[in-house]
Every structure is written in structure tokens, then in C-alpha cells.
Structure 1
């Protein structure tokens, strides 16, 4: 996730130029531009909550290093959106078009130039021209990654509690941290013939919260200070899980529902110094994006004493490959 956020910061370093078109146009464009990457992140971080339907017994535990990769290479509908100038107050295409596809934060469309122009005094026209931002694909990145530590502990019969954690990581432009918690209840543990059943069936609930921030780069059109985007993602995963109960190699699958929300604050001081709408904006706007959808996955887990590894593939609006390295007891 840190990799994608850092590359995204470079790819969209001129998104703040949109303030030259006025606050309304800047907010409309930024909302459409960021929506797909927010959706991808929500589906990505909702994964990895289980690698078996067989809940751990009392005192059993497992510590895992989990990684998720959510690809979007072939999702053209998420890499671009149609910008119709009729929906904007001031934004116009330099080539005279009134509507065309432009890049989202996942895309790779480059070189799209726009302008704003207005009469600031009788007979005096002011104009500002700039290029729209591209996205992750323009940096050669076609996936959204994430990684974190996760711990699971068995409690009373059939109940397992989980927690996930990524300590705050800071670079020059990007900071990110993650927390989460979950529960798994194994229904088959309540059956008299539990030990004899070849499969285990569980319900899993998991909550994840991620906080990220990245800074903008000053451009020729917009000056200012402390320009940044601060985003919080909150997701819930509700799943039904079934797995085999063999000693070494097991297979598991799940059907679930993911719901989440991202809240993005565009913060800092933005001083428009070119064009007809020269003004200063402080912490100009916030964007809320809600996402939900059905998911299904299938995976396998190899257990060799204390050491276990698992891999699964999740199918959803943004499909995700998950891998885990696990160390456990019982």
C-alpha cells in the first residue's frame, strides 16, 4: 500500500492545479478521480481474515504475516472516466473537445490539457492552462498492495478472536498505519460429532481501519503550503467459511459481503496565482466514498508443525490474491 500511495503522489502531483478552475470544479474532478482507488483499497484491505473454517481451540494461537495484491490491469472502466465540460463551471479542453476520457487515480492517460478563461475587467481576459493528472498505471503499477501482521487466539469452544496491525510508517511524502479486529465462530464445534466431521463451517466478522496521508508537490499554477490528502478507510467483512479438516493440506472457501467507507480530506493552503480566479483556499473540501459488494474466495493451507502457509484468491469488484506466512500452536 505504501508503494502505491507513493507512486500515486507522483502521478497526480498536479491535481492541485484544478483549483485554478474554482472550488466546485476542483471538488467534482477530485471526487471522480479518486473514487476507483478508494474502492480498490476497500476491497483489498477487507481480505485475509481467515485461512480455515476450523476455529482454534482454547489457548491455540497463530501469528501471521499477510499480504494482499489487488489487480486492476484489465479494468479499463476503473482507469478512466468521462469528463463532460457541461458538468463543470469553468473547465475546458484545450483541443476544443466537450467530452473525453481522462485518467482516474488508477489510470494512464497522459497529456490531456485543459484551461480556464474569463473576463476579469472590460476587455481584459485572463487564462490559465494546465495538464490533468494521470494515475498509477502511468507509473507502471497495475495493482494495489497491502500487508500487515495478524494474530488469532482461540477462546471458548468454537470462538476465535483476531487482531491485525501495521505500525505507522513514514516517508518524506507518505505515512500509513492500519488497525483491525475480528471474530470467528465455528458452528461445527457445537456438534456432538465435531471430531468426526470432515469439514468445519464458520462465520467470520472483521473490521479494518487504515489511515494514510500524502503530500502534494507545488506547481506553477498553485502555490501554498502543507498541501496534502488525509484519508481514512473503514471496512467490514461478513463471511461464511467452510474448510476441510486434514492434518497437513487443507482447502477452504468463503462467501461474504464487504462494506466500507473512505473519508478524504484535502488539507492545506492553496493559492491560485494564475488565471481569472486567483484566490486562496484553506482546507478546501472533504470527499466521502461508500463501497459495498459480494465476495467469494477459495484457497489452500499447508501445515508443517508450527509453520503454515496459505494462499487464496478472492473474486469481487476488485479481485485480490492473498498469501500468508503463519506460525501457530494447536
Structure 2
């Protein structure tokens, strides 16, 4: 049985599983921030995040066919390392490093040495990721991370709710039939991006649509959830309500430090801040409506991704996704923390001014 690793710093704790190098939970005091769910609990998504349509892509004049791991949508979902065991290479009370050797595989004939480092500090949790190309050919590569964020009013799941990779029934990609009145409905969200990726019924992007700065949502607005760009506009803090999200957002807005920061404000009036460095191009946000009655809309996945969905198949090499030469590496960092209450003197990860988001 694989043993999870607990990190501790001051009043904060985080639990990491070697399966998928997954961040299962993160708590500050008695406030849950990252919580376990049934699908891709905090897993590392590599060498691509999200979906590749039909599992097919062309690269450097060669056609590649990946195994279909989401049959309902005919896609290859969330890479190759979310349900494998990583090796713990370094560990102390507040830090753990996990490595995985990604060997050439069906549909992805490239080799990488992967490393994930979780470091817990008083100001929050930082996550550093590295992918070193150990093969002889240049290779397409993408990183993604899948933390489920608690809105503060409900802590779903429990120690036994983690599934190794989460493939199969209950995929978060099932949009469901709409809001089930879950805990995320009363939460407020900011996704600092300037474009929204419209998708087909398989959640494959079909269009990149810019947000209109002049758009105001009418009080009596009725949404067509699959195509309503007005409903997907969370550039300013607003209540999620019954909006169904399993959507990618591009061209992130960034602060003076070049980081982009999403925010989730819960019923307890506390804000979770998720930050990603310039190596990340895309925010993916999922309300989990397809997870079943017990888990749907109990937490929200706010996922930093270095490339958008279906990037290998439809993206522009070097622009929409990274190409890593032999001996080179892709290195990125993201972080998560809790903004202090007004008047508090305590620190918090990414407690940046409002204009930094």
C-alpha cells in the first residue's frame, strides 16, 4: 500500500501521494483549501494536460496515436503519469521531492525525467515542476495540475476518497445537467484571462473567443451553458451561482511580477489565491458536475496548465505548447495560499494587491 506524505509548517499541513505525485489536501488551521475528490485528486498532468481529440497528433512529420483513456469522449485524457507511482527522492518536514522517469510509450515515443517539488511555508504552498528531455529527439510537452479547491463551506470526500488517476465513470468532463446546488454555488471566483475557449460536446476547443470589456450580465440573463461567453466571464470577482464550468481560459492577465493569480472567495469570506508563473498559458476551471450527487459542485478544480486542451493536435508548436530539445528542460512553478482576513497581520501565499490579478 502506498503511503501518503504529510508536510507541516506552522498551522499548515499538506498531504501528497506518490501516486500521480498528487496534492491530496492542503489545510491552513481548520480551513481546508485543497480537498480530496474522486477524479484526478491533485494529480500531475503530463506530458499533456486535458484532452487530445481521438488521441491523435502529428509532430515533426510523424503521426502519433495515443491510447484512448476517456472512451465516452474519444480522447486521450490528462497524460501518462496521473496514476503511476513516483519515487520520493528527498523529504523533510515541510518539503518533498518526487521523481518519475517517463519512458517512450505508445503514441508518445519521447523520454523525460520529471521532478515535482512541494514546499510548504508560512505564506503558503509552492509547487515546482521540471521536465528534462532525456531522449534523442525534440518533443512536445505540457504540464498541468489538478487541485480541487474548497469553497470553505463544505469539505468533500475524505482520506479514502482518492482514486489513482480517476479515469472511468464520474469523469469531471461530464458536464452533467446543471447545478445541483453544491457548495461552490455561493462562492465567488476570479479567473484572470482575456479569452475563453469554446468547445464541442467532447470538450475539445473549437474557437478562441475574446471577452468584451463592455459586456454587462443582465439580471434576467438565461444561459446556454455550452456557448455563453457572458456566463464564462469571471475576470472580475462574481458569484458562481448555477454556472457549469469545465472550461479553459487563455491569454492570462498578469501582475507586475508576470504571475497570473486566480481567486476563490468562500462563504467564510476567505480568499484562496492560486498563482502561476509565466510558463503557464492556460487556466482550466471545473465545477465537477459529472462527479455524481455526493461530489458534484462540492469543490472546484482550478488548474494551471502550460498549454490548452488539444494543443498537440491543433495548437501552434512553440506558441501554444512547448517543444523541448534533447538535454533541455521545461521548468515551471505555481502556488496556492489563503489571503489573510482584513486586519490580520499574518502572511499568505500570493497575497498580492488586487491589480496583480
Please tell me the TM-score bracket, short chain as reference: under 0.3
By percentage of residues, which structure has more helix?
1
Higher Rg of the two aligned structures: 1
Tell me the TM-score normalized by structure 1. Answer: 0.26
